Amino acid sequence: MENYKATQRDTLFVTQELLGMEAHYQALGFEDATDDLIRAIYGEAAKFAENVLAPLNQVGDDEGCTFNDGVVTTPTGFKEAYKQYVDGGWPSMAHPVEFGGQGLPYSLATTMAEWFSGANHSWAMYPGLSQGCMETLKANGTPEQQEVYLTKLIEGSWTGTMCLTEPHCGSDLGMLKCKAEPTDNGAYKLTGTKIFISAGEHDMSDNIIHLVLARLPDAPQGTKGISLFLVPKFNVDGSGNILDRNTVKCGSIEHKMGIKGSATCVMNFDEAKGFLVGEPNRGLACMFTFMNIARIGTGMEGLSATEASYQGALAYAKDRLQFRSLTGKKNPDGPADPIIVHPDVRRMLLTQKSLAEGKRAMAVYCMKMVDTTLYSDDIEAKKTAEAKLALLTPIVKAFLTETAQEATSYGMQIYGGHGYIKEWGMEQLARDTRICTMYEGTTGIQAIDLLARKVIGSNGELLKVFATEIKTYCAGLRGQSQFNAWANAIDSHVDEWIQISTDIAVSAQSNPDELGAAAVDYLMYAGYITVGYFWLQMAVTAQQKLDEGSSEDDFYRAKIMTAKFYFDRMLTRTRSLVSAIHSGSENLMQMEEALFSVGK
């Protein structure tokens, strides 16, 4: 979408008015991260997203990446945009000063990632993956690895990847086969094939640092025998000077439904030189920081697409004239009324709007929690933030991306047949965001993580921490008659959420398939409640601003009206999800495998 606008005003509402990020930053010791600085950075990020990235979005889709004998060329303009990104200092924002970073908080840098992805999903994946690589090295690299590699990554002159998937194993990493053999000089030789490696090869940076999961000789089977290795595209010396080409090569790139400007590579490791990162056989543990951050990042991509599709659909709905309003002409001088007068068009627009704004609040809230886990000295606060983040991460990943499918589909639907035509950009948003429920762990994987590992695995403790926050907030609203109904709705949903969790835990004791049978509906159910909680808070905050007297009455009134839509028409989706959850596993498991194909 060429006309994409960064949501500066709404993001400031979430960060400054709803979540009090300035005070949060001050409390964590980020004294520079003042309201003024935040606004200044937002302004620059918005310009970059709108003026540099958005105009390249359709180009990326039209041209895609090209592959020729191991060399990947990114679409016209991608390389130049990356240079501007590096020159602007964006890669280094939230990294330690000692490695050349700017020492600003994590959430400040990542909040804006919504705009980069909203303007150009494919392009934003290159620096996005690189950030994941940096976090992993920051948490697990040796001082030497950090000195040589992390510095260059933070600078942006090199980029990074994460190499997990192999042809026969995606979700089930325990099956991975890639081998790492020790050599005499402390390095390793890596051999195997990795697939679906985003940014595995491209023309934007001087070197590419692959973080690769592989097995040492005699490593235990399964996930307990996986180690993490750093494998550079070009070998380098101790000062980071580039030496010879390493024997890791891109074998081909995938032809995909969307994100065509993002190179999805098959990477062949042929005794490639690599270095162990972290402890042997602890590779998955080293990846966890990255994977959790990447999951929130993927959730953000779902948010980005939702917002971008809303903006595109809204412009068309105000412009396209078709039929008269059933309650009388609204555009008497024109041949018909703009389609935004029709209730069903509004239903689709408000679905997009309420999802975009609600998901934004939820995502930024999670990033605030990440800050606390990374920087806080308050052990209790850290523990609480970790608990909330553990619970919410799979919800953010899956709910924000699943609802993006609906939102981007509505974006097309509002255009009618025009939505299907490439030039409008609406169908690209739908295609690009379709990957988000699959990569970084499918919705099914997130759902099992949430229900089995997080909720039941903690005996309900993680849920209790978040539920307490919500119930306390709702209790604090008692007596405020304006929000009574919504607060009661959220409060009773949370009680029901806890009860349902208990019910599933009990039934799963005799039949573990009850977990898988409930998981995805349970996750979506949790998502609608969580976003509902943020809508309640946003409505209350908006009303406070109105009560105080504001020059932005329209902004706050729109918030409250959008909240009403959410409570009336989105939160109520929990009713069918509860029915599905309660229906149990028999309706899924009773059919023998052969019967699925009988009569075909």
Which positions are catalytic?
440
List the one residue from 1, 10, 118, 526 that touches its own copies (CB under 8 A).
10
332: contact with its own copies by CB under 8 A: no
277 vs 340, which CB is nearer to its own copies?
Answer: 340
| Residue 276, helix vs strand vs coil | strand
492: contact with its own copies by CB under 8 A: no
Report the half-sphere exposure of 92 (CA within 13 A, side-chain side).
20
* Binders in 64-123 for its own copies, by CB under 8 A: none
349: contact with its own copies by CB under 8 A: yes
326: contact with its own copies by CB under 8 A: yes
311: contact with its own copies by CB under 8 A: yes
Instruction: Give the helix/strand (H/E) hosting 275.
Output: strand 264-277
416: contact with its own copies by CB under 8 A: yes
List the one residue from 438, 471, 473, 546 that touches its own copies (CB under 8 A).
438
595: contact with its own copies by CB under 8 A: yes
**Residues counted in the chain:** 600
Query: Which residue type is seen at 131?
Result: Q
* Binders in 518-537 for its own copies, by CB under 8 A: 519-520
506: contact with its own copies by CB under 8 A: no
Q: Which residues pair with 31 in a beta bridge?
A: none
Report the half-sphere exposure of 503 (CA within 13 A, side-chain side).
14
Instruction: Provide the minimum distance between the beta carbon of 118 and its own copies in the complex, in angstroms, as a whole number.
Output: 12
| Residue 61, helix vs strand vs coil | helix
185: contact with its own copies by CB under 8 A: no
List the one residue from 366, 412, 462, 529 that touches its own copies (CB under 8 A).
412
Q: Tokens representing 142?
A: 């040796």
Token pair 């005799």 in the structure block, residue: 510
Taking alpha carbons only, the member of 529, 552, 425 closest to residue 17 is 552
Mark the segment that binds its own copies (CB under 8 A) among 96-104, 279-287, 464-472, 570-578.
Answer: 570-578
Size of the site for its own copies (CB under 8 A): 111
* Binders in 443-482 for its own copies, by CB under 8 A: 443-444, 447-448
* Binders in 195-234 for its own copies, by CB under 8 A: 196
576: contact with its own copies by CB under 8 A: yes
H-assigned helices in 479-573: 484-510, 513-548, 553-565
Contacts of 40 by beta carbon, 8 Å cutoff, 6+ apart: none
594: contact with its own copies by CB under 8 A: yes
How would DSSP label each residue in 279-346? STT-HHHHHHHHHHHHHHHHHHHHHHHHHHHHHHHHHHHHH-B-S--TTS-SSTTSSS-BGGGSHHHH
Q: Tokens representing 504?
A: 């599933």
Site string for its own copies, 271-310 (x = CB under 8 A): ----------------------------------------
Instruction: Provide the minimum distance between the beta carbon of 169 and its own copies in the complex, in angstroms, as a whole number.
Output: 7
Mark the segment that binds its own copies (CB under 8 A) among 71-79, 141-149, 483-491, 558-566.
Answer: 558-566
333: contact with its own copies by CB under 8 A: no
List the one residue from 79, 179, 342, 545 that touches its own copies (CB under 8 A).
342
Q: Which residues pair with 207 in a beta bridge?
A: 158
30 vs 566, which CB is nearer to its own copies?
Answer: 566
Instruction: Provide the minimum distance between the beta carbon of 266 and its own copies in the complex, in angstroms, as a whole number.
Output: 11
171 vs 499, which CB is nearer to its own copies?
Answer: 171
List the one residue from 115, 128, 350, 387 that touches its own copies (CB under 8 A).
350
172: contact with its own copies by CB under 8 A: yes
List the one residue from 40, 71, 243, 588 that touches its own copies (CB under 8 A).
588
H-assigned helices in 478-512: 484-510
C-alpha span between 405 and 495 (Å, rounded): 29
338 vs 527, which CB is nearer to its own copies?
Answer: 338
Per the CB < 8 A criterion, the answer to whether 498 and 467 are in contact is yes
Token pair 């909240």 in the structure block, residue: 563
Phi/psi zone of residue 187: left (φ > 0), alpha (ψ -120 to 50 degrees), beta? beta
Per the CB < 8 A criterion, the answer to whether 213 and 228 are in contact is yes
| Residue 584, helix vs strand vs coil | coil
Q: Tokens representing 257?
A: 């439904």
C-alpha span between 500 and 482 (Å, rounded): 29
Q: Tokens representing 213?
A: 């999961």
| Residue 94, helix vs strand vs coil | coil
Per the CB < 8 A criterion, the answer to whether 152 and 92 are in contact is no
Q: What's the DSSP call for residue 215?
A: B
Mark the segment that binds its own copies (CB under 8 A) among 33-41, 142-150, 312-320, 365-373.
Answer: 312-320
561: contact with its own copies by CB under 8 A: yes
513: contact with its own copies by CB under 8 A: yes
List the one residue from 79, 179, 382, 431 that touches its own copies (CB under 8 A).
431
List the one residue from 71, 97, 321, 485 that touches its own copies (CB under 8 A).
321
565: contact with its own copies by CB under 8 A: yes
485: contact with its own copies by CB under 8 A: no
Per the CB < 8 A criterion, the answer to whether 1 and 54 are in contact is yes
Q: Tokens representing 107?
A: 């959430």
List the one residue from 27, 242, 314, 546 that touches its own copies (CB under 8 A).
314
379: contact with its own copies by CB under 8 A: no
Instruction: Provide the minimum distance between the beta carbon of 468 and its own copies in the complex, in angstroms, as a whole number.
Output: 28
Mark the segment that binds its own copies (CB under 8 A) among 36-44, 46-54, 410-418, 467-475.
Answer: 410-418
